[in-house]
Structure 1
Amino acid sequence: MSTPDMPLAELLRHLGEMAQAALPLWDAVPEGATARLFNVAENATYLVEGAGGFRAVLRIHRENYHSRRAIECELAWLEALGASGVVTTPGFYPGRNGDPIQTGRAEGLDAPRHMVLFHFVEGTAPDERGDLTPGFEELGAIAARCHAHVLHWEKPARFERLTWDAEAVFGPRATWGDWRDAPEVTGEIREVLERVEQRVRARLDAFGRPPDRFNLIHADMRLANLLVDEGGTRLIDFDDCGWGWFLYDFAAAISFIEDDPRIPAIKAAWVRGYRSVRDLSPGEEAEIDTFVMLRRMALLAWIGSHIEAPEPRKLAPGFAATTARLGRAWLDRLGEEAQGPSETRPSRPLRASGERHR
């Protein structure tokens, strides 16, 4: 999320000043409230706390990532999902001028930033240390309900969101940059990943993009974005929602844990939950691992282009090597199964060998 030529610490200082100065833009925020940074990735996100137990979440958007119209479309889908009962989503506060999207400025930053103030969502994310199958079965069902919804939802005019396809990951103007620029992508690692890119592109071309496979998706539907309490389950963080393959939502769900030995059971649980709501053909199920590799390559590029932020910096050591190991295993399986099309020959699940790495 860094502004060119500005160290992250300096950028966050300016954004922190912007966040605090912006609070009076919303009637709902009590006088004297404070904004405290609690996450930085694509955007800077702040917990806003004030008198009477008031809490809200302020998102300051990354510069040049989403247009104002794109953010309006995100909020429209949030409202539509909640109104239709598909899944509970976070509400958001209108500003004093009635607009949910406000503009923030700070001395030291040339460009203004878009801002949205979301309702604080109670609940905790499922524990990722234990048995993940119940959480992923629910995640699969939620994904299927969202996918069924978008097939019938009349989207607003001039609907604008990012696209998560092969060009967005591998093209000359890739959304998160070139994976080749990520740390530790050298020698044999790059050679393997070049082959992975070619094979992913070919399989996605063959898979096709009909609207019942490629449509509006959440694109970051991880357990960390599910909040659960006695009141039910809520889905948050739609910042990456956009056009993509429905199966990409599973790949995004296992971001950063693709080599976890629990993945076969996790995938089976997600598919089981999905099929409890919406059909998933054997051929589609067989292609899930292609989307896992697409997402993993996207994450490798993301680490390289966001290396100043704490999470990518922490993830970087060994990430490229593990991506190549996963890719080599995937290519080997495809070689063994090259005699039949994916629509009739389900592939074996993605498995990791040896010690787990990021």
Structure 2
Amino acid sequence: MAGAHHQDFIDRLTKGVESVKHHWGIDSGARVRLLTLSENATFIVEASDHKPSIILRVHRLDYHSHDEILSELDWIGALRKESQINIPEPLPLKDNSYIASFDDEGQTRYVVAFEFMAGKEPSENDSLSDGFELLGKISAELHNHASQWKLPTSFQRKSWTFQTSFGDKPLWGDWREAIDLNADDQDILETLCQTLKVKLDEYGTQEDRFGLIHADLRLSNLLMEQDTLSVIDFDDCGFSWFMYDFAAAISFYETSPQVPALTEAWLKGYRSVRLLEQQHEDMIPTFILFRRLLLTAWIASHSETETAIEAGLGDYTKGTVALAQQYLKGDYLRASFLEERRL
């Protein structure tokens, strides 16, 4: 998505949103304003007649197919009907379909709409333990639903496995292209990569540990409103290990001193809803490193994005190497948290 932050790119997407907003019955005078831009572009539409605001998401190119986007909306719809989780409602077009599109320099961009949800993104600087206990509860509710829900026959979503993350055609790019990665660092990460493969192969993909998950429950996809926690942006939802959802929740601050306490809080909330055997808890450090290596690849292939820049680019790579060394020595989380829980 090179050049994604160039004004002409933003102007093109804004014009495209303007061209399709009438499909949702949005009046021509409604203001369209860019809200966030990472891989997808999210716009807020503020109606001129005091109607509730609407969120329009413009999908990036060459990632999700039309059917994959519909499948995301299918799961959200089922969760809204069959769970108590606060999730924004997908909004149908006037013809009762859910996906609009516009031409962007000869390529088709898909657009979907959601109700606007009030709330504030939690901050890493806040005390997050109470929120993570609630997030653990919500994660368990998501996993319970995924374990019981009968997938529609047309359901299609990507999988987040070792092969799709680090194999020949990794979804987010090759970590070996990481920014400022030298030969010594690469050797360490090669060892990490092979260790992850062995551990994940041994752990397996049985139904009690692997299924449909949100896959991106990081702070930017959560909204706090008083004591209510809402979950947004299911764009990366797919099939992976349930414990990966915790690893995604601490994305970009895996080295924070809060992590052991947040792990404890998340597990407490999770266990209040869903049985969790010790073998699954023991895999949490492995999934944190899995996610960290995956994000290291993502930053390398999306270095122009604000998210990648805020993460530190080459500094994030060096941090990944340091975490890998701790993990390979058995020091990351295990000594400070998991071992103590057994005493």
Alignment of 1:204-215 (within 5 A): 204-215=200-211
One-letter amino acid of the counterpart of residue 256, structure 2: D
**In structure 2, C-alpha distance between the alignment counterparts of 1:311 and 1:277, rounded to whole Å:** 33
One-letter amino acid of the counterpart of residue 118, structure 1: F
Q: State the SS of the aligned residue for 1:114.
A: strand
Equivalent in 103, 112, 125 of residue 116 of structure 1: 112
Change (3 A) 1:227 1:314: closer
**In structure 2, C-alpha distance between the alignment counterparts of 1:187 and 1:157, rounded to whole Å:** 47
Q: What's the offset of the Cα at 1:231?
A: 7.8
- Give the structure-2-normalised TM-score: 0.93
1:297/1:323 contact within 8 Å kept: yes
Equivalent in 149, 158, 177 of residue 181 of structure 1: 177
What is the RMSD computed on CA atoms of the aligned residues?
A: 1.9
2:77/2:90 contact within 8 Å kept: no
Q: How far does the alpha carbon of each residue in 1:266-312 deviate from its partner, in whole angstroms, 9 at most, with x for none?
A: 10111111111111111111110000000001100110111122221
**In structure 1, C-alpha distance between the alignment counterparts of 2:136 and 2:154, rounded to whole Å:** 29
Any gaps of 5 or more consecutive residues in structure 2?
339-343
One-letter amino acid of the counterpart of residue 99, structure 2: I
Equivalent in 3, 7, 23 of residue 25 of structure 1: 23
Which residue matches 1:348?
335
Q: Does 1:323 align with 2:310?
A: no
**In structure 1, C-alpha distance between the alignment counterparts of 2:225 and 2:89, rounded to whole Å:** 17
2:178/2:314 contact within 8 Å kept: no
Which residue matches 2:61?
63
Which residue matches 1:79?
77
Q: State the SS of the aligned residue for 1:244.
A: strand
1:263/1:350 contact within 8 Å kept: no
Q: State the SS of the aligned residue for 2:330.
A: helix
2:31/2:48 contact within 8 Å kept: no
One-letter amino acid of the counterpart of residue 40, structure 1: L
**In structure 2, C-alpha distance between the alignment counterparts of 1:23 and 1:158, rounded to whole Å:** 27
- Give the structure-1-normalised TM-score: 0.89
Q: Percent identity, please.
A: 37
**In structure 2, C-alpha distance between the alignment counterparts of 1:265 and 1:230, rounded to whole Å:** 22
Q: How far does the alpha carbon of each residue in 1:115-145 deviate from its partner, in whole angstroms, 9 at most, with x for none?
A: 0011101112234312111011111110001
Q: Does 1:218 align with 2:214?
A: yes
2:83/2:145 contact within 8 Å kept: no
Q: Does 1:236 align with 2:229?
A: no
Q: What's the offset of the Cα at 1:350?
A: 7.4
2:54/2:113 contact within 8 Å kept: yes
1:251/1:292 contact within 8 Å kept: yes
Q: What's the offset of the Cα at 1:313?
A: 2.5
**In structure 2, C-alpha distance between the alignment counterparts of 1:308 and 1:53, rounded to whole Å:** 36
1:79/1:89 contact within 8 Å kept: no
Change (3 A) 1:11 1:349: farther
Q: State the SS of the aligned residue for 2:180.
A: coil
**In structure 2, C-alpha distance between the alignment counterparts of 1:325 and 1:311, rounded to whole Å:** 21
Equivalent in 130, 135, 138 of residue 139 of structure 1: 135
**In structure 2, C-alpha distance between the alignment counterparts of 1:172 and 1:350, rounded to whole Å:** 35
Aligned residue pairs, count: 335
Q: How far does the alpha carbon of each residue in 1:205-255 deviate from its partner, in whole angstroms, 9 at most, with x for none?
A: 000001121100000112332222258332111000000000000000000
Any gaps of 5 or more consecutive residues in structure 1?
337-345, 352-358
Equivalent in 97, 100, 103 of residue 99 of structure 1: 97
**In structure 2, C-alpha distance between the alignment counterparts of 1:184 and 1:317, rounded to whole Å:** 5
2:247/2:288 contact within 8 Å kept: yes
2:173/2:301 contact within 8 Å kept: yes
One-letter amino acid of the counterpart of residue 310, structure 1: E
One-letter amino acid of the counterpart of residue 10, structure 2: L
Which residue matches 2:153?
157
Which residue matches 1:49?
46
Deviates more, 1:162-171 or 1:244-253: 162-171
